[in-house]
Structure 1
């Protein structure tokens, strides 16, 4: 398997196009044409992580946190430059799966909940508005060919179903001008034709491909079509929720026992029993308002600032600051996802990159 093939597998697990615009994901250092000898999965790519990859015979590291952000403009022995230089010297490829992995229903937040013993999770803050619908007028004899071609170009896929279309007959009319070359009728002659409307949905990111596919296959010189914005909620989003029956204190104890990482701080905003908990891996306090508006009783996240905690207390909200490093649980979770799709040796990092230890 080449690095390019591994990238495709990673993209199927967590599409890189779903990453935040500010993020830096995909192949960060390396060569897509190289053969993959082994994969090391880590939360961070530190200098020690590269040494570990070399020792284990893995020439690909897949990390959650990017080592390169746009603010990095030099590669020297200072700062992250020494990590990049070590990667290149040892011919190690680095792939990053960051916010794209965060946004998946079985992504980082789910992996944390799973480790705590809660496999049945739901997306906390679903993504909306990422789907569009295309509506096309086409002669009846051409509609099956159109649907088949559109299905090959990302139209009509809904969850576990493909080739999902709606169609219904309509009456169309047009008059080609003298320079036209009409599929039906003649120049300067008014035409009334029996047509069909074909409708299908697609992801917004594929719009250019969908339009080009329509133009390529449609028999008309000037296809009549509309593209409509939809507010459907997808299966993707940020964070997950799970049902819990117990006290805040018992949940804190569970996290420390199951996750193997210490809880940093706890905000006890009320004395009510916890029934619905939410996890946002990494730094999730900027989403706290939306999270609690969804009906949760406690938010488990990391990097909680003093004033954020103070405000949560005033609002009677329970917050568990499990630390950013709790995301290290993605190592085991991503390893399981990859093992189902490749026979290459996969190693889980043994290097502790927690900067607070």
Structure 2
């Protein structure tokens, strides 16, 4: 398997298009044509991580946190530059799966919940999915060919299903002008024709290529079509939530026991018992209002500031600051997702990259 082929698999796990605009995901260091000898999964790519990859025979590192961000403006033998040079000297590719992995149902927050012993979770803050719907009139005998051509342009994909179309018969009419070159009918004469209306959805980002494919495939000189903008709740989003029965103290102990990570701080808003728990791995306090509007009793996240905690307590919201580094649990979770799709050797890092330890 080549690195480029591995990228295709990773895109199926967590599409890179789901990354935030400010993020830097994908192949950051390396060559898509290189053969993959092994994979190392990790939260961060540090100098020691590269050494570990060499030791286990892996020439691809998949990290959650991007090593290269816009503020990196030189690659020298210090700081981030030293790690990049270490990767290049040893011909190791580096792939970042950051916010694209955060926004998946089986992403980082779900991986944390799985370590807590929770197998079933649901997305905490669901994203609205904007998509386009194509509606086009086509002569009955040309409908099947049009659908085939539109599929190649990215039309008709709905979740785990492909080639999803609706069609129904209609009567069309038109009068070709004297400058027209009609596929059916005669210039200046009114024409009636049996047509189908074909409908299907596609991703908004693909509109240009879809219209180009439609025009190229359609037999009419001037195809009649509409493109509608629609939205619906997605099965993707940020964080997860799950049912829980116990106290805040019980939950804190569970986190410590199951993850092996210390809990940094706890905001106890005095809730009597916990029935619903939310997790946003990393730094989730900017989403606190949306998270609690989903009916959770406590939010597990990291990087909680003093005033954020103070405001949360005043609002009656319990918070467990499990630290940003709890996301390191994704190394094992990512390993399992990759192993379901390939026989390539995958190792989860054993290196602790926490800056606080």
Return the TM-score normalized by structure 2.
Answer: 0.97
Task: Name the CA distance, whole Å, in 2 between partners of 1:199 and 1:65.
Answer: 41
Cα offset, 1:172, TM superposition: 2.5
Task: Name the CA distance, whole Å, in 2 between partners of 1:217 and 1:53.
Answer: 49
Aligned residue in 2 for 1:168: 168
Aligned residue in 2 for 1:117: 117
Aligned residue in 1 for 2:190: 190
Aligned residue in 2 for 1:9: 9
For the residue of structure 1 that corresponds to 2:231, the secondary structure is coil
Q: Deviations over 1:147-199 (max 9, x none)?
A: 23323332222222222222222233333333322211123333333322111
Aligned residue in 1 for 2:156: 156
Aligned residue in 2 for 1:142: 142
For the residue of structure 2 that corresponds to 1:231, the secondary structure is strand
Aligned residue in 1 for 2:273: 273
Contact 2:45 2:67 in 1 (8 A): yes
Alignment of 1:93-112 (within 5 A): 93-112=93-112
Task: Name the CA distance, whole Å, in 2 between partners of 1:220 and 1:86.
Answer: 58
Cα offset, 1:308, TM superposition: 0.6
Instruction: Decide which moves more: 155-164 or 136-145.
Output: 155-164
Instruction: Decide which moves more: 283-292 or 122-131.
Output: 122-131
Cα offset, 1:211, TM superposition: 2.1
Confirm or deny that 1:294 pairs with 2:294. Answer: yes
Q: Deviations over 1:186-222 (max 9, x none)?
A: 2333333332211111222332332222222211122
Aligned residue in 2 for 1:239: 239
Aligned residue in 1 for 2:57: 57
Return the TM-score normalized by structure 1.
Answer: 0.97
Task: Name the CA distance, whole Å, in 2 between partners of 1:273 and 1:191.
Answer: 72
Q: Deviations over 1:114-140 (max 9, x none)?
A: 111111111111111332211111111
Contact 1:129 1:229 in 2 (8 A): no
Q: Which runs of 5+ in 2 are unaligned?
A: none
Cα offset, 1:224, TM superposition: 1.6
Task: Name the CA distance, whole Å, in 2 between partners of 1:353 and 1:258.
Answer: 19
Aligned residue in 2 for 1:207: 207
Instruction: Decide which moves more: 159-168 or 283-292.
Output: 159-168
Contact 2:276 2:298 in 1 (8 A): yes
Cα offset, 1:78, TM superposition: 2.7
TM superposition outliers: structure 1 runs of 4+ over 6 Å? none
Task: Name the CA distance, whole Å, in 2 between partners of 1:355 and 1:292.
Answer: 30
For the residue of structure 2 that corresponds to 1:49, the secondary structure is helix
Cα offset, 1:234, TM superposition: 1.5
Q: How many residues align?
A: 357
Task: Name the CA distance, whole Å, in 2 between partners of 1:209 and 1:149.
Answer: 11
Task: Name the CA distance, whole Å, in 2 between partners of 1:164 and 1:122.
Answer: 26
Aligned residue in 1 for 2:259: 259
Instruction: Decide which moves more: 242-251 or 186-195.
Output: 186-195
Task: Name the CA distance, whole Å, in 1 between partners of 2:4 and 2:105.
Answer: 24
